Structure 1
Amino acid sequence: MRIYGNRLLKTLSGDLTRPTSAKVREALFNIWQGKIDGCLWLDLCAGNGTMGAEALCRGATEVIGIERYSKACFIINENWQNLANIEQQFQVIRGDIIKELKSLKRKEFDLIYFDPPYHSDVYQPVLEIISQGKILADQGEIAVEHNPKLWPAKEIQGLKICRKKNYGNTTLTFYQHFHEHNL
C-alpha cells in the first residue's frame, strides 16, 4: 500500500484488518489538511496503521495507535519506525480498545481517527469514554469511519456531530466537544 509522498507500507495479509480505502483516506486528509502538522494524533483500531503513518508523513508531532492484534501491532510499529523523523514520537499499544483508551486520559489529542470493524459494538462506548475524559483537546476533532446501515451515527452527551461525508457504503462522521457556552 502507498501513502502520502508515494511511500510504501507493509500490510497484514488476510482479513484480520480492513484498511481504509484510498478514496476515504484522501478525503479525510484533505478535510484535516491544516490541522495535522504539529498535532497529537490517536489512531483507534489502527489495523495496518495506515492513517497514523499518513499523519506522521504530514507532520504530526506524536501518533499513538491502539490495535488488538499482535501481528498488526508489529507491522504498524515497523511502518511507523521507518516513517517517523527524529522529532516525532509514536507508540503502538496492543490491547482492548476500551481498556486501553481509559488509561490514556492523561493525554489530550488534537485529532482522533476511529475505525473499528463495521459490525463492532464499540462505537457508542468508545465515544462515551472520549466525551467523559480528557482525551480530546478542546478544539480537537474525532473522525469515525462506519457503515451507516450498521451503525447510524448519533450525538453523544458532550460531543456534537459537526459534519458527515459519505463515500459509497462508508461514512465519515466528525465529532467535536459540545460546550454549553456554545449555545
Structure 2
Amino acid sequence: MSLRIYGNRLLKTLPGKETRPTSARVREAVFNIWQGKIDGCCWLDLCTGSGSMGAEALCRGANLVVGIELSSRACAIIQQNWQQVATKEQKFQILRGNLLQQLKKLSNQKFDRIYFDPPYASGLYQPVLEAIAQYQLLNTHGEIAVEHSPQNFQPPDIPNWEICHQKVYGNTALTFYKTRESEKIDPQEQGEQER
C-alpha cells in the first residue's frame, strides 16, 4: 500500500494494521497550523509508523528529522521513505526501540516541532510527555502536537507547558502544547524587568 504526501509524492506503508498512518486530512491540518514554522526546523517524530509526518516535514524544508519507532519492519519502510524525499542538505535519523529509552538518548538535543502519535490505548501519553519535559527536548518557542482519540482522553498536565490548540477531525483529535509564556523569559531579562 502507498499514500500521497506534499508535492504529490508516493510513500510506502506497511501492509496490515501494524501501523496506522495519519490521515491526509490530519496531516494537512497540522502543517496548516504550523505553516511557516517547518522550513529550517528540527522535527521529532514519535511512534513514527510509516514516516509520513516526518516525510512531510522534509518535503517542507525541515533541516533535521528524527523518528523513534518500535517495529523493525516499519523502520525499514521509514528509511526508504525519508531517503526518497530528503535532499543532500537535510539530515534524518531513525531510532528503533523503546520510546522512553530512546528519548533519554536524545537529552542533549532540542526540537522545534514534535509530533506524537502513539497507539491510542497504549498508556504512553503521560510518561512520554513527562520525559520530553524532563529531558528538555522542546525548544523554548517550539510546539508538540499529540494525536489521540476524541473520546476518553484527558490531556496530561505537564508543568511549565500549556495547551495552545485543540482540534477534532472525525475520529482523530489533536492537542498542541507549548512552553508557558512565563517560562520563556530569560532569567537575565527577568532580573532587568524587576529593577
Q: Aligning the two structures, in what range does the TM-score lie when normalised by the shorter sequence?
A: over 0.9
| 2:142 is the counterpart of 1:149 | no
* SS of equivalent residue, structure 1 residue 53: helix
Aligned residues: 183
Deviation digits for residues 83-109 of structure 1 (CA, Å, limit 9, x no counterpart) = 100100000110010110111111100
Deviations 1:143-169 (A, max 9, x none): 000003242214311211111011112
Partner of 2:139 in structure 1?
137
Report what 2:15 is aligned to. 13
Give yes or no for contact 1:154–1:161 (8 Å, CA) kept in 2: no
Larger-gyration structure (1/2) = 2
Out of 80, 92, 98, which is 1:96 matched to? 98
Residues 150 and 168 in structure 2, CA contact (< 8 A), matched pair in contact too: no
SS, match of residue 153 in structure 2: coil
> 1:60: how far off?
0.2
| CA contact 1:40–1:61 (8 Å) conserved in 2 | yes
Residues 138, 177 of structure 1: 8 Å contact kept: yes
Residue 75 of structure 1 is matched in structure 2 by: 77
Task: Report the TM-score when normalising by structure 1.
Answer: 0.96
The AA in structure 2 aligned to 1:167 is Y
* Aligned residue number for residue 63 of structure 2: 61
Alpha carbons of structure 1 residues 181 and 118: separation in structure 2 relative to 1, 3 Å:
closer
Structure 1 moving runs of 4+ over 4 Å: none
Please tell me the residue identity of whatever aligns with 2:22: T
How far apart, in 1, do the equivalents of 2:183 and 2:14 lie?
A: 46
Q: CA deviation at 1:181?
A: 5.1
Distance 1:101 1:173 in 2: 20
1:109 corresponds to which residue? 111
TM-score scaled to structure 2, two decimals?
0.90
Q: Which residue of 2 aligns with 1:171?
A: 173
Taking only the aligned residue pairs, the percentage that are identical comes to 61
CA–CA separation in structure 2 for the residues paired with 1:135 and 1:159? 13
Residue 126 of structure 1 corresponds to which residue in structure 2? 128
Counterpart of 1:156 in structure 2: which amino acid? I
> 8 Å contact 1:52–1:65 — kept in the other structure?
yes
| Contact kept? 2:167, 2:175, Cα under 8 Å | yes
Q: Which moved more, 1:149-158 or 1:98-107?
A: 149-158
Are residue 49 (structure 1) and residue 48 (structure 2) matched?
no
Question: What root-mean-square deviation, in Å, do the aligned CA atoms of Structure 1 and Structure 2 show?
Answer: 1.4
